[in-house]
Amino acid sequence: MTVDLHDYVATVENFPEPGVNFRDISPLMGDGVAYKQAVDAIADFAKQLNVALIAGPESRGFIVGSPLAYTLGIGFVPARKGGKLPRKAVSASYTLEYGGVNELEIHEDAIKPGQRVLIVDDLLATGGTINATREIIEKLGGIVAGVAFIIELEDLHGREKIMEAGEVPFLALMEY
C-alpha cells in the first residue's frame, strides 16, 4: 500500500510566530505506513550514493536519520545543538527561519576523513541548519554525498543556498 504523504502533514498558521506556516510531520511519524514509506524512499536514494554514515541535526533530523541508518545498516551521527556534547567537538553557527541564531556540534571523532555522509532532516527551510551541518562534516574531512528531506519549503530557497556551497545530490519527498 502506498499513501499520499501530504495527507500526513499538518499545517499550522502563525506558529511559532506570526507569518510562519509551520509544517508539522507529527502525523507522518505517528503512522507506521507513512513513516516507513518516507524512510524507505530516502533509503533508496541513499543506496545510490554509497554512503558510510547518515548525519542529522537535532532534533527532528534524528527522527528521520536514525531509522534510515538502521535500515541501511550504517552509523548515525547526531549534529547536536550547542553545549550538549561531552567530548571535543567541532561547531558551526547559523540563523533560523524563526528563533534567531543557533549552533550545531559534532564530536570530532564521529567522522573519518574521506567518509561519505548523507545529511537528512525533516524539513528544509532557509538551509541554515543543513549548511551548518555540512560545514562541520567538511571541517572533519567528510564528504557530503547528498542531502535529503521529507519536506522542502520552496519559497525560502534553501536548495539554492545548499547548492551555493557546492552541488550535491538532492531529494525532497514533498514540496510546499
Three-state secondary structure call for residue 31: coil
Chain mean position to CA 34: 18
Q: How many residues bind ligand ADE (CB under 6 A)?
A: 8
State which residue, 78 or 127, has the beta carbon closest to ligand PRP: 127
Asked about 97 being catalytic, the answer comes back as yes
Asked about 60 being catalytic, the answer comes back as yes
Grid cell in block for residue 53: 554514515
State which residue, 23 or 134, has the beta carbon closest to ligand ADE: 23
Q: Which of 5, 8, 9, 23 binds ligand ADE (CB under 6 A)?
A: 23
Q: Give me the least distance between CB of 113 and ligand PRP, in Å please.
A: 26
Site for ligand PRP in 45-64 (CB under 6 A): 57-61
* Using rule CB under 6 A, residue 123 touches ligand ADE: yes
Stretch that binds ligand PRP, among 41-49, 69-77, 83-91, 124-132 (CB under 6 A): 124-132
Pairwise CA distance, residues 126 & 93, whole Å: 14
For residue 64, give the H/E element and its range: helix 60-72
Site for ligand PRP in 68-97 (CB under 6 A): 96-97
How many Cβ atoms sit within 10 Å of the Cβ of residue 43? Answer: 19
* Using rule CB under 6 A, residue 128 touches ligand PRP: yes
Buried/exposed 130-163: b ≥16 CB within 10 Å, e otherwise:
bbbbbbbbbebebebbbbbbbbbbeebebbeebe
Residue sitting closest to ligand ADE (CB): 125
The partner in contact with residue 26, picked from ligand ADE, ligand PRP, none with C-beta cut-offs of 5 to 8 angstroms by kind, is none
Pairwise CA distance, residues 53 & 50, whole Å: 9
**DSSP β-ladder status, 75-81 and 53-57:** parallel
Three-state secondary structure call for residue 131: helix
The amino acid that residue 159 corresponds to is R
Stretch that binds ligand ADE, among 19-27, 43-51, 111-119, 133-141 (CB under 6 A): 19-27
Residues in contact with ligand ADE by the rule CB under 6 A = 20-23, 97, 123, 125, 153
* Catalytic (active-site) positions: 60, 97
